[in-house]
A and B are shown apart, each in its own frame.
Chain A
């Protein structure tokens, strides 16, 4: 039994994507943009680093794309159906797709990518694949995924960066990591890899055989590599760069650059990742092990101030553990407003003796350093004896991995669904020394585990919603981590670069639709 609902959704998504585009685009031209830092490689199936995703998202494709509301749009799959029990997903692939080397793209490529390649190499795909029982090509252009049990976020897991399609004819039965094609990525996307001058530029050129008629409009995209933030701002200012993807200039440069003539800014294009800044709080020992202390920290922090002053008013102060781009956000919780008096009360109630705690800033640039200073100031105001410990990225990783901290800044991606990007921070079986990306705070709560695990596989969505509401209430009370901000990562660009951000991953696949009005 197949439902026609999914087909209707895909048609609606199609309508959305074409409606969002401006009229009569012009052909030609090359866009100059920035990639920071230089990616370690461009074979997206093998490396999922942020800079790799940004560049290679224009070379490789997934089965689906997502709107800025995270609704699926067709990409390599032109339509799909979900069975009534939520366990069988059937994808119908486009029939006119070829790889950049001219070979046809078929259902076998999908099976190989998902079942062989990603199962071996890709941690984010692996997290989804553990719910998959089998993947079968029923004909050349149809693929059926059968799940062990329903898995709510399954349909939003097919983004190019996570579930890249890898050419089977080049990779099957080879040593993937040492494959001779790794230095010349072959995808199905609108742009082909042309040249990588290490330390200088990565050049992509138009794929003349792209399956969507007339696309892409651009002749190419040059990704410049400029290591210094100030120099990147200058390069944009003097016109040699057209697009500054988010995070490529320091925040304090953004007001100045966005005020320039012919410069546009958008906050869209990060819905899929929705970066969520948090304060790890060590739940194991010290004052931070006390729930009342953690609540006091929440009341002590002036998050609105941080947003307005440090982040130029962009972004969003979250209510609790679920960001606004994640599904099933509970809107009935009482927010932790800036309330120093309440913080002092809580500290008095727990008889905090002034024991010194440390705060570990995120070594990702000036804004984060300033933010740590602002939080330190807030905490001192309510009588918390806090000291900053600065470190570089390597040291920061190690201290978090060793649980050697009291408070520490971080930010994680939410990936649209609580089961993909949120539960990992709170599940107790996700506590493991040595990684700074799991349940680092050491929070253990059986009920929370039960709820998260049940909600991931509950079906349909109404059942998930109820479970997630309860879990949010518990987390809101326990404050295992501090919820700082849903970060606003703006993209700056010359206004004559049109239709740049057309999906929930922004410039990661944005040059497909982009054109130059010059």
Chain B
């Protein structure tokens, strides 16, 4: 079993990489100015020295760095991510709590950007010298160049404030008490704006890449052969050109998938989406070390998993790439 061995090797490397990431992140965060005790005290608006000391002692911040590092790393080894300083809840629970919302959002955006991007790119490739093809490429360029937060805010202004069609924030309507299908519909409505916002940038990239890649493949000899055989242009487009053009897109999709957990900070913040990205941003502002490290760990693990998956998909898509070579 070549695949099994390949996966084993990759997983072993992954564990080492993750271990290094944990240590690296630990020191990186220690270098940031400010500690969680001072920030918590600041929010309280009143703090005596005793209060600060109590906090630091509770968090273990009064210990030397190497003790803190040892405690943390040995915890991780037992899959214990510790407690969030600010929220007093186990980090693992917090992350598991937020993960579904993030996966729903980024997963939808991922599928949306991939499907629409490839469709638009193929269309642009087929209409390479026509105005409609140029229009698609112009739009793709606009989406590529526009800052995400601006798109997000403008879509709220247009679709929520002026038109009133879509909800502006949140995962569901608070207090509506929806269940079953009504809840699914409600969540779907809330999903439209953030998922589209998040999808636009990658969609633009996929569009451009699909087009270039397809135009490139169209010049290849096997396409000429197919044409000579008298195959229908639509069949050539789909089976011969598109399939070969997909390889660079798989690479990029693998990268995007790896970023799914950590990459939605802005979108989640603007749309009040209760996901991991927001949790990470807040943890950073609060210097909530344990929580931040926990999220780093999960996103790093996810990047590694998607890297392995991408490699496997690559092998399926292109038989020329063989085994563990």
Q: Taking beta carbons and an 8 Å cutoff, which residues of A are in contact with B?
A: 30, 32, 37-38, 40-41, 47-51, 123-124, 126-127, 177, 182, 197-201, 203, 222, 224-228, 230-231, 234-235, 237-238, 240, 273, 391-399, 401, 412-413, 432, 434-437
Chain A residues contacting B40 (CB-CB under 8 Å) are 40, 49
B48 at the binding interface (Cβ < 8 Å): yes
Beyond the given A32-B174, A235-B169, A435-B47, please list 16 additional residue pairs across the A-B interface where CB-CB is below 8 A: A50-B45, A199-B272, A200-B272, A224-B170, A224-B174, A227-B269, A227-B281, A391-B33, A394-B33, A394-B286, A412-B45, A413-B46, A432-B49, A435-B38, A437-B42, A437-B46
Q: Taking beta carbons and an 8 Å cutoff, which residues of B are in contact with A?
A: 32-35, 38-52, 58, 86-88, 94, 97-98, 101, 153, 156-157, 160-161, 164, 167-172, 174-175, 269-272, 274-275, 278-279, 281-282, 285-287
Chain A residues contacting B98 (CB-CB under 8 Å) are 198-199
A394 lies within 8 A of B47 (CB) = no
Q: Considering the chains assembled together, what is the distance between the CA atoms of A49 and B46 in angstroms? A: 9
B274 lies within 8 A of A200 (CB) = yes
Q: Considering the chains assembled together, what is the distance between the CA atoms of A413 and B101 in angstroms? A: 38
A123 lies within 8 A of B51 (CB) = yes
A401 lies within 8 A of B175 (CB) = no
B287 lies within 8 A of A200 (CB) = no
Q: Considering the chains assembled together, what is the distance between the CA atoms of A51 and B42 in angstroms? A: 12
Separation in Å of the B166 CB from the closest CB of chain A? 10
Q: Considering the chains assembled together, what is the distance between the CA atoms of A263 and B141 in angstroms? A: 42
Contact of B272 among A177, A227, A273, A396 (CB under 8 A): A227
A227 lies within 8 A of B58 (CB) = no
Q: Considering the chains assembled together, what is the distance between the CA atoms of A271 and B56 in angstroms? A: 32
- Across the interface, name the chain B residue whose C-beta is closest to A41: B88
Chain A residues contacting B171 (CB-CB under 8 Å) are 200
Contact of B46 among A30, A124, A198, A391 (CB under 8 A): A124
Separation in Å of the A182 CB from the closest CB of chain B? 8
Q: Considering the chains assembled together, what is the distance between the CA atoms of A126 and B274 in angstroms? A: 36
A226 lies within 8 A of B169 (CB) = yes
Separation in Å of the B152 CB from the closest CB of chain A? 9
Given A228-B272, A231-B272, A235-B168, are A397 and B38 neighbors across the interface (CB < 8 Å)? Answer: yes
- Across the interface, name the chain A residue whose C-beta is closest to B274: A199
Separation in Å of the B234 CB from the closest CB of chain A? 45
B34 lies within 8 A of A396 (CB) = yes
B34 lies within 8 A of A395 (CB) = yes
Chain A residues contacting B42 (CB-CB under 8 Å) are 393, 397, 436-437
Q: Considering the chains assembled together, what is the distance between the CA atoms of A320 and B286 in angstroms? A: 33
Chain B residues contacting A49 (CB-CB under 8 Å) are 40, 43-45
Q: Considering the chains assembled together, what is the distance between the CA atoms of A123 and B175 in angstroms? A: 36
Chain B residues contacting A197 (CB-CB under 8 Å) are 274
Q: Considering the chains assembled together, what is the distance between the CA atoms of A51 and B50 in angstroms? A: 22
B161 lies within 8 A of A198 (CB) = no
Q: A-B pairs with the 5 shortest C-beta distances?
A: A394-B34, A199-B274, A49-B43, A397-B38, A226-B272
Separation in Å of the A38 CB from the closest CB of chain B? 7
Contact of A123 among B44, B87, B269, B287 (CB under 8 A): B44
Chain B residues contacting A201 (CB-CB under 8 Å) are 174-175
Chain B residues contacting A432 (CB-CB under 8 Å) are 49
A399 lies within 8 A of B33 (CB) = yes
**5 A-B Cβ contacts within 8 A?**
A49-B44, A123-B51, A200-B272, A224-B174, A432-B49
A40 lies within 8 A of B41 (CB) = no
B174 lies within 8 A of A228 (CB) = no
Chain B residues contacting A38 (CB-CB under 8 Å) are 282
B47 lies within 8 A of A123 (CB) = yes
B269 lies within 8 A of A398 (CB) = no
- Across the interface, name the chain B residue whose C-beta is closest to A224: B174
Q: Considering the chains assembled together, what is the distance between the CA atoms of A126 and B40 in angstroms? A: 17
Separation in Å of the A370 CB from the closest CB of chain B? 19
Q: Considering the chains assembled together, what is the distance between the CA atoms of A237 and B282 in angstroms? A: 25
Contact of A398 among B38, B94, B167, B282 (CB under 8 A): B38
Q: Considering the chains assembled together, what is the distance between the CA atoms of A40 and B88 in angstroms? A: 8
Given A40-B88, A231-B156, A397-B39, are A437 and B47 neighbors across the interface (CB < 8 Å)? Answer: yes
Separation in Å of the A390 CB from the closest CB of chain B? 13
- Across the interface, name the chain B residue whose C-beta is closest to A125: B46
A199 lies within 8 A of B279 (CB) = yes
Q: Considering the chains assembled together, what is the distance between the CA atoms of A238 and B165 in angstroms? A: 11
Separation in Å of the A105 CB from the closest CB of chain B? 26
In this complex, which of A51, A197, A397, A401 has the most chain B Cβ atoms within 10 angstroms of its Cβ?
A397
Chain A residues contacting B270 (CB-CB under 8 Å) are 228, 230-231
Q: Considering the chains assembled together, what is the distance between the CA atoms of A401 and B36 in angstroms? A: 13
Separation in Å of the B192 CB from the closest CB of chain A? 16
Given A48-B46, A198-B274, A231-B272, are A437 and B39 neighbors across the interface (CB < 8 Å)? Answer: no
Separation in Å of the A220 CB from the closest CB of chain B? 8
Q: Considering the chains assembled together, what is the distance between the CA atoms of A240 and B170 in angstroms? A: 11
A398 lies within 8 A of B47 (CB) = no
A177 lies within 8 A of B58 (CB) = yes
Q: Considering the chains assembled together, what is the distance between the CA atoms of A198 and B283 in angstroms? A: 14
Chain B residues contacting A226 (CB-CB under 8 Å) are 169-170, 272
A394 lies within 8 A of B285 (CB) = yes
Chain B residues contacting A394 (CB-CB under 8 Å) are 32-35, 38-39, 285-287
Separation in Å of the A202 CB from the closest CB of chain B? 10
Chain B residues contacting A203 (CB-CB under 8 Å) are 174-175
Q: Considering the chains assembled together, what is the distance between the CA atoms of A8 and B285 in angstroms? A: 49
Chain B residues contacting A225 (CB-CB under 8 Å) are 272, 274
A234 lies within 8 A of B160 (CB) = yes
A393 lies within 8 A of B168 (CB) = no
Contact of A434 among B38, B156, B174 (CB under 8 A): B38
Separation in Å of the B50 CB from the closest CB of chain A? 7
Q: Considering the chains assembled together, what is the distance between the CA atoms of A513 and B32 in angstroms? A: 45
- Across the interface, name the chain B residue whose C-beta is closest to A161: B45
A199 lies within 8 A of B52 (CB) = no
Chain A residues contacting B169 (CB-CB under 8 Å) are 226, 231, 234-235
Chain A residues contacting B47 (CB-CB under 8 Å) are 123, 435, 437
Separation in Å of the A364 CB from the closest CB of chain B? 10
Chain A residues contacting B170 (CB-CB under 8 Å) are 200, 224, 226
